[in-house]
Structure 1
Amino acid sequence: MRHIAAFVLFKSQRVNFLSKYLLACILLLSFTFANAAQVTPFDSADEGRLFTLQGSNTIGARLAPAWAKSFLEAKGAKGIMVEALPQLNEYRIKGRNGARAVFIDVNAHGSSTGFQGLKTNMADIALSSRSIKDKEVSALNNLGDMRSAQSEHVVAIDGLAVIIHPNNELAKLPVNVIGQIFSGQITNWEILGGPNRTINVYARDDQSGTYDTFKNLVLGKQLALIPTAKRFESNDELSDRVASDIDGIGFVGLASVRQAKALAVSEGNTTALKPEIMYVATEDYPLSRRLYMYTGQSGNKPLVTEFIHFAQDLDGQKIVEEIGFISQNPKSLTVELATGPAQYQALSKYARRLSLNFRFQSGRADLDNKALQDVQRLARFMKMYANKNMNIQLVGFSNVESTEKRAQVLSRLRATAVKSALYRYDIRTDSVMGFGDTLRVADATGSSSVKNERVEVWIYPSTAAAAVEKVRKGDLTAKILRSIAPVIATQ
């Protein structure tokens, strides 16, 4: 309504030049600093159950209730509290809108139950810690295209942490070895360099999106979970059991590592990465995953749409971070690189990498649903006052292609696609860089190979523009590299 009112004022003959100027400034500041998802007060007709979220325990145990509580607060509700309902893993977040009671229900019994809830009209939003399956898309075809940007909403990033007892000296494992442990092919710690003791396996239950993700990323179609594995509906309970069992190993969502020890994980010939903020946020960590909300493509309650925007926006993503997941709000982080092309290493000497990667629809050059949101996030980030003198360098990568030249071309084309998307938000970027398949983050032939097709975002100050231009052109003489050091030191 503010924007409509502003438009009317601009059209009015009675508004003088100074008023127009001041109003333009207000609108610009509003775009730059305000949250994109504005929470309006309750309508007088709003009462009772506002909507129901159903599905993933990973999201529903703490994150969804925290979002619901803050959402009700933003809308002016009073006396808000989170109430645990009689059935385990069900919550009611309730408050008062004047004299009326209002509440949001969260039922967290596993991702598959969320899609069942949409089908039976028992849920307005499906919470899922995995992407929707083909059979679920078919079952919900009456709600529209469930993979469209209007239905699929990435609300946070999580990492599946493979956890062991804190006193276990093991530090890292390849994905294939993790699969051998959880399928029962490796049953003794001695095989992994530890003591001669039996490995105790802990896993989530079959309804869990966490288990479904683990099954897809680790066990695949060739392996099955060992029958003796102890199963849990709750991430936190599983983690606490592993932390108290010196011979235990399990997997949980990143926010539930708690007192256990998380292992570094590698895939193929890639470097083992711990589930740290940078590598999980960029989805480079092999066991990273997206957390979703799903709705019908159209016809949703206005409050449902508003709630999803709230969860995806600045304040909602701050809550993501507070709970222990990975926010999608961009952060600039210094990265130490041990390997990579010379130009890439030179770039890392004075530039900082942002905690987001742009990825694409499978087999296409179009940005995926998360990337479409990330374009807006990056535009907002770059328009902040603190970043007014920062430049963007886009760096593209490819999966293995038929020729090295083709991989190079595709990596640059992907970076160019992001460059064009940012330009539509009035964000200019430098000439792109592309390094083909030289820094893979996933097995080139595995199901996760699409993760290699990505665009990284690096930022650097204008004072380093001349140096980065030379590096971009391949001028990596000792003199140029030495000139980078003073630039870094001042940042």
Structure 2
Amino acid sequence: MKRDLSRRGIILPKDLLAVLLRLVLTAGVLFSGLASAADSSRVLFRLTGSNTVGADLAPALVKDYLKSLGATEIRQRTEGEKHWIHADLEGEQVVVPIIALGSSTGFKALDSDTADIGMASRRIKGKEVELLARFGDFTSAQAEHVIGLDALVITVHKDNPINRLTLAQLAQIYSGEIRNWSQLGGPDLPIRPLHRDIESGTRATFDSEVFGSTRPAKPFVYEVSGNHETRALVEQDRAAIGYLPFADSDGMHKVAIKSGELAAVVPDRGIIATEDFPLTRRLYLYRNPGRFNAQVDAFLKFVESPAGQKIVEAIGFINLTPVSLKLPAYANAPDSYRQLMENGSRLSISFRFADGSTELDNRALRDLHRLQEFMAQEENRDLSLTLVGFSDRKSNQNIADLISRFRALKVQGALLRDHQMGDSQIMAVGAFAPLTADSEQGPVKNSRVEVWIN
């Protein structure tokens, strides 16, 4: 060491060299000790994926889950989008790491076995299902867990007079067919569309609902790194338009969105809960169906329980606990449905079906249990249920009526067979009041069974 330094004209006394050597060795021991301290905490499970889920919701759920286990000294350490929840559990130090860098990263982490749970603000894609097929079926109820609901709120600068847009107009803005606010009755300003990064589940939801599939951003579209940047740019720039999760949209100028035969609406908790709002999305946790982990199973059950769902609501998302809603009647509704709307209340549960299937989807399977628990409550035992079936847009009305009746019967049969709930009526309304218009590119959403109570 001395010889190398002397070549640069630096000569160190032997005593100073000895001091430096001791410092290096001491530092090595310290770093080793720190690493050992970190390694001594047992990892219960690891979460990776969506920032929408991982920023606030996942840490809150993990903390309350640890409390339910009797853990003490629960604390959080955060570095950017990475969080570590530490606790003392039965005399042992444990930790749950949470890495929130986008929904796509969650599925990549499941593939590389660097996560036990993938967080997503959109449903798993076909190519990801194929990637993970060696572990099992990630579209199964064992793997896929819907934990709450959110909606994308379209927002513009507070001085922008635009208050209403259709889904078709949103598509024209982001594809470049509409480039100036004056084309929509606003100021003579070039529109500045803001789009999330390609890893984002929030962006995937927007693309799916507006365009029908993910697509590259146009050169004039500005890609933002996260929801905080979207909010800041919309607040500063009179020409900007962007989208934010419902929980992050307070205080912003929100634009009402029209789709199908629905009136143009700014999303509220009720219309998000029913999933009727066109930009509604589900929040997911995915686990490896081929690998048993007791802590992962227990955590997922906690998240889906009433206690976990209260946390989902407290963070600002919409939970899955059934509530009754009073909704305005459609002017052109069939007589039987109009009477139901006037005299009854709709539950926030809407049973939906797996893509291209006659089987209920994974959320619906768990909603059967939630409906059973709702009806078992003392104040609800005298209520009667009406299950209203809807079909997709069809040219043949007779086929549409048959499909909607089949769907209502499917839910009624599941309630009777598996949940001993036989007191329900059915109603079929065909393709009435589609939630998306024929001209729109997003997914058809009319295939559902609504739950009404009298």
Shorter-chain TM-score above 0.5: yes
Match of 2:328 in 1: 336
1:269/1:332 CA distance change after superposition, 3 Å: closer
Taking the aligned partners of 1:62 and 1:260, their CA distance within structure 2 comes to 20
Are 2:126 and 1:121 equivalent residues in the alignment? no
Match of 2:205 in 1: 213
1:210/1:49 CA distance change after superposition, 3 Å: same
1:239-278 matches, within 5 Å, as 239-278=231-270
Match of 1:302 in 2: 294
What letter corresponds to residue 397 of structure 1 in structure 2? Answer: F
8 Å CA contact retained: 1:243, 1:259: no
What letter corresponds to residue 160 of structure 1 in structure 2? Answer: L
8 Å CA contact retained: 2:329, 2:342: no
1:237/1:105 CA distance change after superposition, 3 Å: same
Instruction: Output one character per residue of 1:367-409: Cα deviation in whole Å (capped at 9) or x when no partner.
Output: 1111001000011011011212211111111112342122112
What letter corresponds to residue 129 of structure 1 in structure 2? Answer: S
Q: What's the CA shift for 1:236?
A: 3.0
8 Å CA contact retained: 2:208, 2:443: no
Picking from 354, 375, 388, the partner of 2:381 is 388
1:226-241 matches, within 5 Å, as 226-241=218-233
Picking from 203, 207, 222, the partner of 2:195 is 203
Picking from 174, 178, 186, the partner of 1:182 is 174
Match of 1:350 in 2: 343
Picking from 100, 110, 122, the partner of 1:108 is 100
Taking the aligned partners of 1:448 and 1:203, their CA distance within structure 2 comes to 17
Q: What's the CA shift for 1:171?
A: 1.8
8 Å CA contact retained: 1:202, 1:238: yes
**Secondary structure of the corresponding residue to residue 384 of structure 2:** strand
Are 2:433 and 1:439 equivalent residues in the alignment? yes
Q: What's the CA shift for 1:449?
A: 4.7
Match of 1:377 in 2: 370
Picking from 415, 424, 428, the partner of 2:422 is 428
Taking the aligned partners of 1:443 and 1:449, their CA distance within structure 2 comes to 10
**Secondary structure of the corresponding residue to residue 166 of structure 1:** coil
Count how many residue pairs are aligned between Structure 1 and Structure 2: 413
8 Å CA contact retained: 1:399, 1:450: yes
Are 2:285 and 1:285 equivalent residues in the alignment? no
Instruction: Output one character per residue of 1:10-34: Cα deviation in whole Å (capped at 9) or x when no partner.
Output: xxxxxxxxxxxxxxxxxxxxxxxxx
8 Å CA contact retained: 1:362, 1:450: no
Picking from 55, 61, 64, the partner of 2:49 is 55
Taking the aligned partners of 2:218 and 2:252, their CA distance within structure 1 comes to 21
8 Å CA contact retained: 2:385, 2:425: no
Taking the aligned partners of 1:315 and 1:167, their CA distance within structure 2 comes to 41
Match of 1:84 in 2: 78
Q: What's the CA shift for 1:328?
A: 0.7
**Please, which moves more after superposition, 444-453 or 101-110?**
444-453
Instruction: Output one character per residue of 1:129-185: Cα deviation in whole Å (capped at 9) or x when no partner.
Output: 111111111111111011111111111111111111234322221111111112232
Taking the aligned partners of 1:82 and 1:235, their CA distance within structure 2 comes to 22
Taking the aligned partners of 1:397 and 1:437, their CA distance within structure 2 comes to 6
Taking the aligned partners of 2:293 and 2:327, their CA distance within structure 1 comes to 43
**Please, which moves more after superposition, 242-251 or 343-352?**
242-251
Q: What's the CA shift for 1:363?
A: 2.2
**Secondary structure of the corresponding residue to residue 101 of structure 1:** strand
8 Å CA contact retained: 2:160, 2:187: no
Query: Normalised by the size of structure 1, how large is the TM-score?
Result: 0.80
**Secondary structure of the corresponding residue to residue 79 of structure 1:** strand
What letter corresponds to residue 430 of structure 1 in structure 2? Answer: S
Match of 1:364 in 2: 357
1:353/1:119 CA distance change after superposition, 3 Å: same
Please list every run of at least 4 consecutive aligned residues from structure 1 whose deviation after the TM superposition is greater than 6 angstroms.
none
8 Å CA contact retained: 2:260, 2:434: no
Instruction: Output one character per residue of 1:323-363: Cα deviation in whole Å (capped at 9) or x when no partner.
Output: 11111110001111233222211111121111111001122
Are 2:140 and 1:151 equivalent residues in the alignment? no
8 Å CA contact retained: 1:201, 1:248: yes
Picking from 154, 167, 172, the partner of 1:162 is 154
8 Å CA contact retained: 1:394, 1:458: yes
Q: What's the CA shift for 1:288?
A: 0.9
- Aligned CA RMSD, in angstroms, stands at 1.9
**Secondary structure of the corresponding residue to residue 170 of structure 2:** helix
Taking the aligned partners of 1:171 and 1:359, their CA distance within structure 2 comes to 31
1:47/1:379 CA distance change after superposition, 3 Å: farther
What letter corresponds to residue 387 of structure 2 in structure 1? Answer: L
Instruction: Output one character per residue of 1:34-62: Cα deviation in whole Å (capped at 9) or x when no partner.
Output: xxxxxxxxxxxx95211110001111111
What letter corresponds to residue 70 of structure 1 in structure 2? Answer: D
Are 2:97 and 1:72 equivalent residues in the alignment? no
Taking the aligned partners of 1:417 and 1:332, their CA distance within structure 2 comes to 22
Which runs of 5 or more residues in structure 2 are unaligned?
Answer: 1-39
1:145/1:446 CA distance change after superposition, 3 Å: farther
8 Å CA contact retained: 1:183, 1:224: no
Taking the aligned partners of 2:383 and 2:158, their CA distance within structure 1 comes to 41
1:193/1:336 CA distance change after superposition, 3 Å: same
Q: In terms of Rg, which structure is larger? A: 2
Identity of aligned residues (%): 38
8 Å CA contact retained: 1:150, 1:298: no
What letter corresponds to residue 375 of structure 2 in structure 1? Answer: M
What letter corresponds to residue 282 of structure 1 in structure 2? Answer: T
What letter corresponds to residue 409 of structure 1 in structure 2? Answer: L
Taking the aligned partners of 1:143 and 1:111, their CA distance within structure 2 comes to 19
1:402-481 matches, within 5 Å, as 402-423=395-416, 424-444=418-438, 448-460=442-454
**Secondary structure of the corresponding residue to residue 338 of structure 1:** coil
Picking from 68, 76, 86, the partner of 1:94 is 86
Taking the aligned partners of 1:392 and 1:268, their CA distance within structure 2 comes to 27
Match of 1:466 in 2: none
Taking the aligned partners of 1:356 and 1:167, their CA distance within structure 2 comes to 37
Which runs of 5 or more residues in structure 1 are unaligned?
Answer: 1-45, 461-491
Query: Normalised by the size of structure 2, how large is the TM-score?
Result: 0.87
